[in-house]
């Protein structure tokens, strides 16, 4: 009996090892085949890893697109499930129509240099009243196109992305998450909980045979956005395009937005313009949380006024750590349909006749990025600002100051492996410099 038990243990270990190394080989072969079959793209990678937790990763990827003369560098692309066996059986389950209980895609340290636009694509396909509203007063531009975004400083695309979901069959709870950190632009996190997706999770072919999307109900939605450079770049660019100092342009833009709000006869029990200006501030932070009541359907939106709708979805908004109570809000729908922003631009006449932005000198548009020395004992005043910390050992780190306590500080900084929250003991800090807002 003991001998039989020993043989069983050995058999399980051998089978497990065979599965593990077999999966390693299979993943590597699939990646090789994929890289060889990519049309019009040259690519290579350093290695492929598959660990005992079921995580598959392709590390240090280099891609080159000859037609666009574009080079892309990626630290790693990883796929994760809930465990080793689920990853091992992933292909077989997908062929049978079954989705894994958990799945996540992680793209770490994506980096690409953006070539100057060959042509200006106008508003990049986003031309609408909202993009025009946020660009009011930006010289003689109605909206910003590819050339304008390139000129205001977006010459590199660097980001980290985590996107995925988890599913619990007994509760029929599906939780999806997106975490995108776009360097120099913003950080967005979205978490959504839904119920009613069990038929799709058990067999996604059901989506083609009478599945009713209205049966899916969102029970919670949380969105968090932090500006990490976009607002400041846009403000500096528009001030320069308008021939104004930045504070003067900020005031003029606010006046033009208020004129547009007056045109549609907007009324509210909170400061709409003040909220808009808070969201446009450098390093602004926005938190939105929705918890719709059971049975509420987005298809019924037209039947509710705004105040009732806010109650039904249990809306809560926090801007720059301050709750915003959004109650009654109303506007003239006929005026909104005939909103004339060109009349606002004409009334204010912002921008010189020649609104061309000066030739790129390689320096940031607007303010010079001059570092300013600050004492360590006032770091609390600079949370969410970009700082440079120098330790006693001579190492320096640049990033967003996210946490300050009596004993330590935390900055979000970029390493080769991606963005990292780096804790530093306050007593180990030799000097601190802060970038201007």
What's the pLDDT score for residue 92?
81
What's the pLDDT score for residue 47?
85
What's the pLDDT score for residue 35?
63
State the chain's mean pLDDT as an integer: 78
The token pair that represents 156 in the structure block: 């590199």
CA proximity to 257, closest of 122, 144, 354, 350 = 350
Q: Note the helical H segments in 215-305.
A: 230-242, 246-263, 272-280
Cα–Cα distance, 58 to 32 (Å, whole number) = 11
Cα–Cα distance, 135 to 128 (Å, whole number) = 11
Answer whether residue 167 is part of any domain.
no
Give mean pLDDT, residues 415-426: 72
Q: Note the helical H segments in 115-194.
A: 129-134, 146-151
Give mean pLDDT, residues 41-49: 82
Give mean pLDDT, residues 401-427: 79
Whether 372 and 434 have beta carbons less than 8 Å apart is answered as: yes
Q: Is the pLDDT of residue 370 over 90?
A: no
Give mean pLDDT, residues 247-269: 91
What's the pLDDT score for residue 82?
84
Question: Residue 190: which pLDDT band, with cuts at 50, 70 and 90?
Answer: very high
Answer whether residue 244 is part of any domain.
no
Range(s) of the domain holding residue 377: 372-434
What's the pLDDT score for residue 288?
92
Q: Which residues pair with 311 in a beta bridge?
A: none
Cα–Cα distance, 410 to 419 (Å, whole number) = 13
Q: Is the pLDDT of residue 356 over 50?
A: no
Phi-psi region of 9 (alpha: psi -120 to 50; beta: other; left: phi over 0): alpha
Answer whether residue 425 is part of any domain.
yes
Please state which of the ranges 3-17, 208-222, 325-339 shows the lowest mean pLDDT. 3-17
Answer whether residue 78 is part of any domain.
no
Q: Is the pLDDT of residue 258 over 90?
A: yes
Specify the higher pLDDT residue, 239 or 26.
239
Whether 126 and 143 have beta carbons less than 8 Å apart is answered as: yes
Whether 114 and 155 have beta carbons less than 8 Å apart is answered as: yes
What's the pLDDT score for residue 223?
94
What's the pLDDT score for residue 414?
65
Angle between helix axes 230-242 and 246-263 (nearest 10 degrees) is 90
Q: How many structural domains is the chain composed of?
A: 1
For 288-317, how does the pLDDT look when each residue is reduced to its tens digit (9 = 90+)?
998 887 766 655 555 666 667 777 788 889
Whether 153 and 365 have beta carbons less than 8 Å apart is answered as: yes
Q: What is the CATH number of the domain that holds 395?
A: 2.30.30.100
Give mean pLDDT, residues 410-428: 75
Answer whether residue 135 is part of any domain.
no
CA proximity to 31, closest of 71, 59, 5 = 59
For 132-149, how does the pLDDT look when each residue is reduced to its tens digit (9 = 90+)?
888 898 888 888 888 888
What's the pLDDT score for residue 323?
92
Name the pairing type of β-strands 408-415 and 418-425. Answer: antiparallel
Answer whether residue 377 is part of any domain.
yes
Residue length, the chain? 437
Query: Does an H or E element contain 157, and which?
Result: strand 156-168
Range 400-432 burial, b when 16+ CB lie within 10 A, else e? bbeebeeeebbbbbbeeebbeeeeeeeeebeeb
Answer whether residue 414 is part of any domain.
yes
Range 212-249 burial, b when 16+ CB lie within 10 A, else e? eeeeebbbebbebbbbbbbbbbbbbbbbbbbebebeeb
Question: Residue 28: which pLDDT band, with cuts at 50, 70 and 90?
Answer: low
Answer whether residue 65 is part of any domain.
no
End-to-end Cα, the chain, rounded Å: 75
Q: Is the pLDDT of residue 361 over 50?
A: no
For 316-337, how does the pLDDT look when each residue is reduced to its tens digit (9 = 90+)?
899 998 998 887 888 888 888 8
CA proximity to 137, closest of 354, 281, 357, 350 = 350
Q: Is the pLDDT of residue 179 over 90?
A: yes
Specify the higher pLDDT residue, 124 or 26.
26
Cα–Cα distance, 58 to 47 (Å, whole number) = 6
Phi-psi region of 266 (alpha: psi -120 to 50; beta: other; left: phi over 0): beta
Q: Please tell me whether residue 293 adopts helix, strand or coil conformation.
A: coil
């Amino acid at each position: 009996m003991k001998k039989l038990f020993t043989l069983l243990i050995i058999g399980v270990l051998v089978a497990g090892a065979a599965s593990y190394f077999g999966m390693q080989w299979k993943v590597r072969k699939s990646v090789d085949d994929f890289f060889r079959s990519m049309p019009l793209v040259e690519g290579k990678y350093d290695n492929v890893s598959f660990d005992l937790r079921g995580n598959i990763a392709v590390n240090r990827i280099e891609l080159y697109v000859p037609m666009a003369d574009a080079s892309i560098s990626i630290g790693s692309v990883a796929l994760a499930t809930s465990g080793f066996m689920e990853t091992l059986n992933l292909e077989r389950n997908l062929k049978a129509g079954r989705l894994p209980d958990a799945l996540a895609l992680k793209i770490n340290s994506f980096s690409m240099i953006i070539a100057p636009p060959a042509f200006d694509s106008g508003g990049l396909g986003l031309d609408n009243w909202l993009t025009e509203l946020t660009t009011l007063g930006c010289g003689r531009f109605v909206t910003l196109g590819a050339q304008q975004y390139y000129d205001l400083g977006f010459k590199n695309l660097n980001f980290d992305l985590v996107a995925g979901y988890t599913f619990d069959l007994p509760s029929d709870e599906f939780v999806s998450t997106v975490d995108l950190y776009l360097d120099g632009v913003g950080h967005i996190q979205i978490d959504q909980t839904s119920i009613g997706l069990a038929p799709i999770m058990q067999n996604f072919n059901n989506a083609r045979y009478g599945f009713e999307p209205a049966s899916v109900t969102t029970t919670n939605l949380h969105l968090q956005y932090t500006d990490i450079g976009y607002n400041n770049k846009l403000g500096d660019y528009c001030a320069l395009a308008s021939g104004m100092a930045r504070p003067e342009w900020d005031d003029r833009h606010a006046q033009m937005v208020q004129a547009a709000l007056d045109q549609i006869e907007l009324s509210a029990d909170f400061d709409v313009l003040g909220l808009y200006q808070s969201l446009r501030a450098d390093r602004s932070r926005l938190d939105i949380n929705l918890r719709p009541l059971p049975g509420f359907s987005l298809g019924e939106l037209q039947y509710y006024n705004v105040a009732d709708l806010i109650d039904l979805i249990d809306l809560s908004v926090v801007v720059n750590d301050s709750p915003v109570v959004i109650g009654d809000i109303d506007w003239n729908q006929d005026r909104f349909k005939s909103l004339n922003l060109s009349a606002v631009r004409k009334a204010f006449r912002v921008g010189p006749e020649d609104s061309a932005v000066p030739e790129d000198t390689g320096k940031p548009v607007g303010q010079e990025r001059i570092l300013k020395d600050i004492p360590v004992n006032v770091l609390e005043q600079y949370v969410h600002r970009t700082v440079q910390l120098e330790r006693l050992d001579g190492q320096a780190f640049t990033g967003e100051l996210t946490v300050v306590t009596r004993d330590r500080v935390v900055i979000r900084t970029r390493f080769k492996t991606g963005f990292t929250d780096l804790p530093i003991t306050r007593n180990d800090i030799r000097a601190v410099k802060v970038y201007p807002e």
